[in-house]
A = this chain, B = another copy of it.
Amino acid sequence: MKRIETRAITVGNVQIGRQDKVIIQSMTNTRTKDVPATVEQIHKLEEAGCEIIRVAILDMEDAHAVSEIKKQIHIPLVCDIHFNPDLAIASIKAGTDKIRLNPGNIENEDKIKEIVNLCKERKVPIRIGINAGSLNKKYEHSEENMIASARDHLKILEELDFHDICLSFKSSDPLECIKAYRLASETFPYPLHLGVTEAGGVLNSAIKSSLALGNLLLDGIGDTIRISVSDDPVEEIKVAKKLLRACGIRKDVPNLISCPTCGRIQYDMLPITKQMEAYLENVNKDITVAIMGCPVNGPLEAKRADIGIAGGKDSAILFKKGEIVETIPQDKIMETLIHEIEKF
């Protein structure tokens, strides 16, 4: 899946842009100054597959916590700063790998220069995050004005010869996201961080994000993504990985195919589907697993699955790439599948 070429930026040791890979991000919901809690959450996110993590910097205590957090984590850290340039300066000095800051919101020109100089010196990129809900008051609400607002912020950085930039154009409306990011992709050379914001809980966000981000990703737009979820941020990573897999952008995420429930199913398939989905959350392999409802059509219908089972009235059959391998008892389905997935 080819991506539209953008400039590359480097956040810590992670490249964003100018590659076919799409980087998965999330954000902590701990108090950043609570270092043990923040580090613990980041570790869980790393384990789930998060590649860059953002923390909110609300005060100097948060900014100073960054250096200690950085020592204990293994992925690049982004500091999210609103309005206060001193928090940006402190975060950069504390070792952040990237900042999210809209320079147009900082009135003190000297402070902007100081931030940009520090960013240049330490190779810290800046993300300008345009949010449809908080556009500068001079602009009426529209996608075109989201682009115009980005241009205002960009001008400040570009005039200081700073180009180590990433852009985002989030909205809570998936259709607005699609339009804004398409315009941005035509307008700017910078890599794009995709997200539908304020998208609700896991399921609501999965629907809105898959609709909007999926639409963009399939056209090669987007270099990094965040699925915003009102829940444990680990859920954001799970949805992001599944979406990138469904888009054909990532391969190291298992794919489960399973029959919809229908009157043809001959055994209690749902508990097995749920157990298998839970098990696959922690598998990082390019494997397609099928849980099929009937032994007659199952193996053929799921012939592209690497491994699958189709339950019958008393027993189940195990198949690989559509070929039946063996008949197994119903109560051995999970353990047989896990064994096969482990050795795959």
Contacts A243-B207, A247-B211 given; does A201 touch B274 at CB 8 Å: yes
The yes or no answer to A239 lying at the interface (CB within 8 A) is yes
Interface of A is mostly: mixed
Q: Is B210 within 8 A of A207, CB to CB?
A: yes
Q: Is B199 within 8 A of A263, CB to CB?
A: no
Which B residues are CB-close (under 8 A) to A174? 246-247
Q: Is A199 within 8 A of B300, CB to CB?
A: no
Q: Is B198 within 8 A of A302, CB to CB?
A: yes
Q: Is B230 within 8 A of A261, CB to CB?
A: yes
Which B residues are CB-close (under 8 A) to A230? 258-261, 269-270, 273, 291
Q: A178 CA to B211 CA in the complex, in Å? A: 13
Which B residues are CB-close (under 8 A) to A242? 203-204, 207
Which B residues are CB-close (under 8 A) to A330? none
Q: A191 CA to B218 CA in the complex, in Å? A: 25
Instruction: List residues 254-269 of chain A with CB under 8 A from any CB of chain B.
Output: 256-265, 269
Which B residues are CB-close (under 8 A) to A201? 256, 258, 273-274, 277
Which B residues are CB-close (under 8 A) to A175? 218, 246-248
CB-contact partner of A31 in B246, B263, B270, under 8 A: B263
Which B residues are CB-close (under 8 A) to A300? 133-134
Instruction: List residues 85-143 of chain A with CB under 8 A from any CB of chain B.
Output: 131, 133-134, 141
The yes or no answer to A30 lying at the interface (CB within 8 A) is yes
9 A-B interface contacts by CB (under 8 A): A27-B260, A29-B261, A32-B263, A134-B297, A203-B238, A203-B277, A211-B214, A230-B269, A233-B261
Name A residues whose Cβ lies closer than 8 Å to a Cβ of B: 27-32, 55-56, 58, 62, 80, 131, 133-134, 141, 172-175, 178, 197-204, 206-208, 210-211, 214-215, 218, 226, 228-233, 236, 238-239, 242-243, 246-248, 256-265, 269-270, 273-274, 277, 290-292, 297, 300-304
